Amino acid sequence: MPQTWNSFNTGMQLAITAQTIEFTAGGGDPVHAYVARPAGEGRYPAVVALHHMPGWDEFYQELCERLARHGYAVICPDLYCRFGHGTPDDVTAKVRAEGGVADDSVVADSAAALEWLKAQPWCSGKVAVMGTCSGGRHALLAASLVPGFAAVADLWGGNVVMAEDQLTAARPVAPIDYTDRLQVPLLGLFGNDDRSPAPAQVDRHEAALQEHGRDYEFHRYDGAGHGFFYYHTPMYRPEQAMDGWEKLFEFLGRQLGGH
Amino acid sequence: MCTAISRSDQVRGAAKGAGGWFPLARCTVGFDHSTHTPDEHAVLIDFANYGIGTDARVGVELDLDSARVLLAQLQEAVDRAEALDSGDD
């Protein structure tokens, strides 16, 4: 049975704050971010959440709020902010038309989000980076290339392993090729029915992590494909998702000193 | 699955969106996460003019069989139009 979900004491006074802010992101650009955190006095472990390919959307707002209810301060930068504003699906379509957001842009925004968090009086200074789908891949890139993160969680990030003909100007290096630079513990959650990342690609990533002696834990779920946390889609798999959330909270608690 | 399969090209024409007709600037076709179909993934087609705004867009999501139907329809229409032009039809 899950240890985290629904384990609060009904007598406690729960309060979180959540709002859109503007922060100085990569290149000095003003970029929107959704910030959720416990409302009480104190210094909290923190997370930079990198949204998935479908955009800076309501699922990510709720993901941030769930983490905040469990004691984490979270910033989720709008990685598509520079492309304009509109409904998440309209903005995502524009990003798709323009070839996708560049890895360099995401890494720079992740570094800026990390620095922004560390400057807040309510941040403990221990910060993880996480994401799902393309956000999982981006989280891995950020953790490999930006010093200062304490941990990384890659939830079904596709295109960690890339063929030569998949490399583009926006995505010039496969994240697996930065394994030698990954210095922080990695949590990976994957569905065995996923085709990107396919189980064979997760195997290759795991082999690279072992070859470089990296600190990682992968959990691979039968009966689940891509995006099995996404309760707003047919991909949702409640049993695997609840176990995955538990694994995520255990990992964050261990690496960041949360609960 | 997170494919990043997408191609975008300039096109000329018009599309009718929520705000009425607008001139088209580009069409993007991909295969990735769907937003509103019951399938996990779909062929994603966006007719858009982002010079007007992010909402100057007509988005369509099709399953693969439907995309094949559309492909055949387009091919037939183009073939017949070209035949007209060449005087064969």
Answer yes or no: is pLDDT of A38 > 90: yes
Give yes or no for a contact between A5 and A247, defined as CB atoms under 8 angstroms apart.
no
Among B8, B35, B39, select the one facing A54 at the smallest CB separation.
B35
- Tens digit of pLDDT for each residue in A120-163? 999 999 999 999 999 999 999 999 999 999 999 999 999 999 99
Distance CA A75, CA A122 (A): 13
Answer yes or no: is pLDDT of A71 > 80: yes
The answer to whether the CB atoms of A133 and B33 lie below 8 A apart is yes
pLDDT over 90 for what percent of chain B?
A: 76
Q: Tokens 């055949």 belong to which residue? A: B72
Answer yes or no: is pLDDT of B40 > 70: yes
Judged by DSSP in three states, B61 sits in strand
- Tens digit of pLDDT for each residue in B43-78? 999 999 999 999 999 999 999 999 999 999 999 999
Task: Enumerate residues 19 to 78 of chain B having a beta carbon within 8 A of any beta carbon in chain A.
Answer: 26, 28, 30, 32-33, 35, 38-40, 44, 46, 48, 50, 53-55, 57, 59
Among B32, B39, B48, select the one facing A97 at the smallest CB separation.
B48
Q: What is the DSSP secondary-structure string of A206-241?
A: HHHHHHTT--EEEEEETT--TTTT-TTSTT--HHHH
Residues of A whose CB is below 8 A from B1: 158, 194-196, 225-226
Judged by DSSP in three states, A74 sits in strand
Interchain CB contact of B6 with A (< 8 Å): yes
Q: What is the pTM of this model?
A: 0.93
Residues of B whose CB is below 8 A from A237: none
Helix (H) / strand (E) containing B29: strand B26-33
Give yes or no for a contact between A159 and A166, defined as CB atoms under 8 angstroms apart.
yes
Residue of chain A minimizing CA distance to B1: A196
Please, how many CA atoms are within 13 Å of residue B89, restricted to the half-sphere of its CB?
11
What is the token pair recorded at A142?
């950020």
Interchain CB contact of A195 with B (< 8 Å): yes
Higher pLDDT residue, A234 or A85?
A: A85
Q: How far is B75 from chain A (nearest CA, A)?
A: 23
pLDDT, mean over chain B:
93
Residues of B whose CB is below 8 A from A85: 54
